[in-house]
Amino acid sequence: MRRSPLLAVLFAALLISACTSTQDVLEPSAIAAAPPSEGALSAEGDVATTTPARTAAAGTRAVLPPAIASRTYLRFDPIVGATVEAATPLTERLAISARARGIRLAGSADPSTTHVLKGYFSALSEGKETTIIYVWDVYDPAGHRLHRINGQQKTPSNGGDGWSAVSPSTMQTIADLTIDQLTAWLASNTG
């Protein structure tokens, strides 16, 4: 499949802005220690529990095998590029989705951290749609990149432009997709 030049330019702009911007950074580690609230909703609108939620491809979301879950502690680093208003539903859902799949969360100073997730975001409005481009890097505690997750999510612009056009449900969907991919990678990376 051939990628459009516009997508390549947008992705490059995302990476450049993610590496140089200090605006709109949200620190998700503040939610790492907090348990999911009662009645927190899943992407499908169901109440989230510790049982796997549904996924489009397989019917159920993967949960880490107990042997891998027992030695995995994930810390979220600050998210770069998204406004606090857009990133808040994302970070809340990341924590809920991670726990639901058996991933334990570590605080910012937790010495048991085994993996660090850092996200870079950009929102681009064109016509009646806004595209959110996201890149997540998974690091070890020493700062070595182990894996990269990236994608994009389109949403109607809802009369706004840029981040003001992005609904909380769109950011929650991105969180679920991210944790799905992270879980699959962790499960396949048994070393």
Residues pairing with 119 in the sheet:
136
Range of the domain at 45: 5-188
The fraction of the chain above a pLDDT of 70, given in percent, is 68
Give the range among 56-60, 69-73, 164-168 with minimum mean pLDDT: 56-60
Considering its fold, how many domains does the chain have in total? Answer: 1
CATH of residue 9's domain is 3.30.160.150
Residue type, 119: G
Q: What would the pLDDT profile of 88-123 be if each residue is shown by its tens digit?
A: 999 999 999 999 999 999 998 899 999 999 999 999
Residue 180 confidence (pLDDT):
95
| Strand-pair category, 73-76 with 115-126 | parallel
Centre a 10 Å sphere on the Cβ of residue 172 and count the other Cβ atoms it contains. Answer: 20
Q: What would the pLDDT profile of 61-92 be if each residue is shown by its tens digit?
A: 778 888 888 889 999 999 999 999 999 999 99
Burial of 91 (0-12, 13-18, 19+ CB in 10 A): buried
Average pLDDT over residues 26-32: 44
Residue type, 65: P
Residue 34 confidence (pLDDT):
41
Give the closest residue to 103 by CA, choosing from 120, 118, 116: 116
Residue 24 confidence (pLDDT):
40
Q: Could you give the residue ranges of the DSSP H alpha helices within the chain?
A: 5-20, 66-69, 84-100, 168-188
Give the closest residue to 119 by CA, choosing from 13, 28, 5, 48: 28
Q: Using CA atoms, how far apart are residues 179 and 62, in angstroms rounded to an integer?
A: 10
| pLDDT of 179 higher than 70 | yes
| pLDDT of 33 higher than 80 | no
